[in-house]
Structure 1
Amino acid sequence: MTKRLIFAAILLAASVSSSRAEISVTDAVGRTVKLQKPAERIVLSDGLDVVAFSMIDPAPAGRIVGWSRSRLDDEAFAAFRRHDQRFASIRSLGSVKPGTVPVEAIIALRPDLVIFGTEFSSTESSLASLEAAGIPVAILGLAPSIRRMEGETGLEKFGRLVGRESQSKQFADFFRERVDRIRLKVRSQPPSPKPPVLLEAHAGGATCCMSPGKGEGIGDFVTLAGGDNIGADVIPGMAGTLSLEYVLARKPQVWIATGGPYMAARGGLVLGENRSAEEALDTLRKLAARPVLSQIPAARSGRVHGIAHTLTTSGMNIVAIEAVAKWVAPELFGDLDPQETLQILERRFLGFHMGGTYMISLPSNRAGGEVAK
């Protein structure tokens, strides 16, 4: 009888241990992050990660206790708040960047998981302070990446940490399938010159032209579509400034500008949440008519396009990837409909309609783009 009781106790202990199985992931810098159960009180160093979080969880506001809203503009925040009023109660932590992490404020929120973006390194001093307080920290990029298509994505790892593994895999598969469709179509074409593409980030500022370089981002979208990001040839990092002389010499055939509501005060490209197609098109026309730049081949042929900057850097970036492909190679990707993809994301993953205008093209080139509403 005693042996039977001991055996039963062992089985019970094993069952309890199994039900409390440890969650373990390796983050972007090779650190092992372990949780005893899915996180319920989460701090995001980048509020824009709420877009990716929303793709795998219908109610992320119920689990986010603190965030930095520095990259989540007011109008995007308002759209999320309309969907779930709990977003208004999330503690704002100001700017959370390497070297400026408000450790005490984060500890006071009693989180069971902190997510730092990939701009952080394993030597970040705040990591040790937070972990000494018993708070797990993972360095992960939640927005999908063309450069990291193999293996488990950052969002899939995050999905495991928050108990949304199945949902994160579904979204990752959706992203991979659409990117592979573009990649395979480009590879199937005979070798040909790559069209030079001018990417103007935060277009319309005082200086022209701020451009992505070799760093990860929208420049990768151009490369994927078979184009040549002219900024990558002279800017080794994430971004820099191109001279007008260089832009003229490169003779870009396609011009893609990024912007958002925040550019209204700077006289730049304005589009995004609560912005009409008419307003977006008007600001794009003004950009294309600027002295000197109006003489580049892209402007003369009407191949000028605009896209919301947050669309290129958030969890919805597959929409930007498809838009760039269609603009760079309209004859190859005429069947792509990025506006429809945006609607699919809203219905299938996000769960609500953002509203506004996120992509725009000069009317003279409707074959390579669309006025998106």
Structure 2
Amino acid sequence: MNTLLNRMKLTFLRSGVRVLVLLLTTASVWAGEIQRITDLAGREVSLPAKVNRIILGESRYIPALAILDEQPISKIVGMLADFKQTDPGSYRQYRSKFPEIDGIPQIGHTSADSFSVEQVLTLNADVAIFGLEGHGPTARHAHVIRQLERAGVAIVFVDFRRDPLTNTPKSMTLLGKVMGREQQAAEFNTFYQAQLQRVYDGLAQRKQQHADSSPSVFIHSRVGLQDLCCETMVKGMMASFANSVEANNVAQAIVPGAAGVMNMEYLLTIQPDVYIATAIGSTDTWRAADLNPAVDNIPPYIVLGAGVSEDVARLSFQNALSAANSRGVRQLRAVKEGKAFAIWHHFYNTPMNVVAVQAFAKWLYPETFSSLDPQATMAELFERFQPVPLEGTYWISLDTQATETTSFARHARVGVKQGAMQ
């Protein structure tokens, strides 16, 4: 009897050990399936270690995802329509490479108000990627966050807009963790920081050689969109680019908030040293048949970006400054002296912003940065980190004699990301 009892105890003990081992193993597996990260809103977020289904609060984040993954479309199950509607040239490039992009469900148009929580809840997403600020839901949309998290959708906030030069590397690191592409994120950040450091080194050198004050600049935002002149950026976005190169943004002293409108009469009084316009136009708003400046129905937008030729870019710039709502700009001394430039508006919300910083530096300090080549930086960025070719014009001077113009024609090879490791 004792022998039988001992055997039963031993069997029970062994069974208990097996159960305990099984429980510990299962717990270990569960723990391995979850990763915990801190996003750009300072929130601790738990999400699957392997993310397979992604919602984009702004579809313009697709090029950022493409820096990390040569198949950036494959995991997106829903997105706002802002990429297609606000940057149709770039969208067409991605559609040519990834036709399936047209089949991704649109969960809204170009605003947070249009974002459909109900539709998102049908898509079985693992994670939603939102921006601290922008067109889609932000950290201020508590009701959206609450509903999605209750349904098991993790929410991660990134930022290329509010504090772009500080938060771009942080956001890429975060996206690398979300997508399981940490090595690729680290490689891009190395490239990014090196290109930014070239600007900082030039500024330090200038300080040693010059005691004069910083040049003043006026950033004329979204030229042609408003009936009144002149919309501008004061904090974040492209204002950060001006601050990073130690320029005096003339709007900062008088315009409250992140953006606002400056009076043309005031601009004519203070006369900024450099004029920089941002271009929201595309080939969709500017047709080849409409190149005659005498045509009254030409949209007053500056056209830059993918698929835009240098001729169209410059003509659109000239015409935009001839439109009724911007005509006074031509009286600025900077414009008359050939210090007027236009830049692709969407640099303000992308990891490619480092190229815009280099362009700003070259425009504001042409002697200091005579050897800096933003064109080469842009070409390298596309060749190493983008799956689509670099074709188009992304910045331009108003003066046809100036050299600060760039037009790319297949500088990057499709599908080649030399530095990206899988």
The TM-score, its normalising length taken from structure 2, stands at 0.80
Letter paired with 1:124: A
Letter paired with 1:216: G
CA–CA distance in 2 between the matches of 1:145 and 1:4?
59
Other-structure match for 2:289: none
Q: Are residues 1:294 and 2:294 paired?
A: no
CA–CA distance in 1 between the matches of 2:155 and 2:384?
30
Q: Kindly report which structure 2 residues correspond to 1:93-172, keeping only aligned pairs within 5 A, or say none.
A: 93-95=107-109, 97-98=111-112, 100-119=114-133, 120-121=138-139, 124-141=142-159, 145-148=163-166, 153-172=170-189
CA–CA distance in 2 between the matches of 1:186 and 1:158?
31
Q: 2:223 aligns with which of 182, 203, 219?
A: 203
Contact 1:38 1:160 in 2 (8 A): no
Q: Kindly report which structure 2 residues correspond to 1:1-373, keeping only aligned pairs within 5 A, or say none.
A: 6=17, 9=21, 13=25, 17=29, 20-71=32-83, 72-95=86-109, 97-98=111-112, 100-119=114-133, 120-121=138-139, 124-141=142-159, 145-148=163-166, 153-190=170-207, 191-205=211-225, 206-213=227-234, 215-259=235-279, 260-261=281-282, 264=286, 266-288=299-321, 291-364=327-400, 366-367=402-403, 369-373=404-408
> Residues 169 and 142 from structure 1, CA distance in 2 versus in 1: closer, same or farther, beyond 3 angstroms?
farther
CA–CA distance in 1 between the matches of 2:174 and 2:329?
44
Cα distance, 1:38 vs. partner? 2.2
Runs of at least 5 residues in structure 1 that lack an aligned partner in the other structure? none
Cα distance, 1:97 vs. partner? 4.3
Letter paired with 1:370: T
Q: Percent identity?
A: 26
Contact 1:225 1:329 in 2 (8 A): no
Letter paired with 1:218: M
Question: C-alpha deviations, 1:260-281, integer Å up to 9, x for none?
Answer: 3166463221121221100101
CA–CA distance in 1 between the matches of 2:141 and 2:91?
31
> Residues 96 and 291 from structure 1, CA distance in 2 versus in 1: closer, same or farther, beyond 3 angstroms?
closer
Cα distance, 1:327 vs. partner? 0.8
Cα distance, 1:225 vs. partner? 1.7
Question: C-alpha deviations, 1:87-115, integer Å up to 9, x for none?
Answer: 11111122364455311100111111101
Cα distance, 1:248 vs. partner? 0.9
Cα distance, 1:189 vs. partner? 2.5
Question: C-alpha deviations, 1:145-185, integer Å up to 9, x for none?
Answer: 555269x6012112101101111111122111211221232
Contact 1:323 1:338 in 2 (8 A): yes
Cα distance, 1:17 vs. partner? 2.9
Contact 2:161 2:348 in 1 (8 A): no
CA–CA distance in 1 between the matches of 2:89 and 2:35?
36
Aligned to 2:73, the other structure's residue is in SS state: helix
Cα distance, 1:352 vs. partner? 2.1
CA–CA distance in 1 between the matches of 2:203 and 2:139?
35
The TM-score, its normalising length taken from structure 1, stands at 0.90
CA–CA distance in 2 between the matches of 1:142 and 1:313?
5
CA–CA distance in 2 between the matches of 1:65 and 1:143?
24
> Residues 242 and 308 from structure 1, CA distance in 2 versus in 1: closer, same or farther, beyond 3 angstroms?
same
Contact 2:48 2:126 in 1 (8 A): no
Contact 1:114 1:137 in 2 (8 A): yes
Cα distance, 1:123 vs. partner? 5.6
Contact 1:288 1:299 in 2 (8 A): no
**Residue correspondences, number:** 370
- Aligned-CA RMSD value: 2.7
Aligned to 1:39, the other structure's residue is in SS state: coil
Larger radius of gyration: 2
CA–CA distance in 2 between the matches of 1:97 and 1:356?
27
Larger deviation, residues 33-42 vs 58-67: 33-42
Contact 2:223 2:300 in 1 (8 A): no
> Residues 168 and 197 from structure 1, CA distance in 2 versus in 1: closer, same or farther, beyond 3 angstroms?
same
Cα distance, 1:226 vs. partner? 2.5
> Residues 365 and 124 from structure 1, CA distance in 2 versus in 1: closer, same or farther, beyond 3 angstroms?
farther
Contact 2:195 2:377 in 1 (8 A): no
Question: C-alpha deviations, 1:175-202, integer Å up to 9, x for none?
Answer: 1121122123213333421111111111
Runs of at least 5 residues in structure 2 that lack an aligned partner in the other structure? 1-9, 287-297, 409-422
Question: C-alpha deviations, 1:313-356, integer Å up to 9, x for none?
Answer: 22221221111111111111111211111111111000221421
CA–CA distance in 2 between the matches of 1:178 and 1:314?
15
